[in-house]
Amino acid sequence: MKKFLIYKNPYKDKDETIKNKVVSCLLSLGAAVTDFDKYNGEYGDDLMTIVLGGDGTILQAIREADFSMGPVIGINLGTLGFLTEIETSNIENAMKALVEDKFTLEDRLLLEGKTAQSTVNALNDVVLTRFGGLRINSFNLYVNGLFLAQYFADGVIISTPTGSTGYNLSAGGPIASPASELIILTPICPHTLNHRSIILSSKDEVRIEIPASKDGGNQELEVSFDGSSKEIVKTGESVTVRCSDKKVCFAKLGKDSFLDILNRKMSEK
């Protein structure tokens, strides 16, 4: 028997119309269904999580499962929905395909960000941004222990291919196929003309050191992981980012290539 967990964004499906339709379809096909917040067992490859919401809801579900859940697939109740494959108009066909194992699996890279206080995983990105007043910040970037560059910018984004269509894209960074093995470094509003995005290997380790400001004073910056788990880092401290040993598995129903999906999503208004 196929087993499914349902994770719902309460603000996107307030009357649970979509959730009830999904559950009804799955039960009629002989599957077992449990609400995500009522499940207290172990995750595994035989347990799929269906997320109702947008990309942010998928990120939240993955965080709540501590990046250890089995395959995940999303029903798009958001806007662009790069991570959510199923549209509400195709729920019946999609549920039938999931129950009948008519899907493929795609592993996605995770980042592991380490500060002096904690170690946190991120599916999309690790972001350092200014904290407090409006002023130019400086960042010393090291790759595999070697000095790469000093950025003068509002912040720095370290992104996975999955996250390349998120904040990285808004900041002018490149889009990467989600199945690719790489890390993207993109400055946010750089204050020099020659600082642009850099693409690194997934085997590289990035360290961002917070130096003193131009006038010799202390800097305070905020580091966030997938837009949450925020911390403050100061002059003399650093954030180290590398690819995690864990990966997140997405179920994929359609046969469209990433470029087909990108073209469709970027054309939506």
Query: Which residues are catalytic, by number?
Result: 55
Q: Which residues contact 208 (CB under 8 A, 6 or more apart)?
A: 128, 139, 140, 141, 142, 156, 158, 238, 239, 240, 241
Asked whether the beta carbons of 117 and 223 are under 8 A apart, the reply is no
Indicate the helix (H) or strand (E) that contains 24: helix 17-28
CB 221, CB 239: distance < 8 Å: no
Q: Output the CA torsion sign for 108, 167, 118, 183.
A: positive
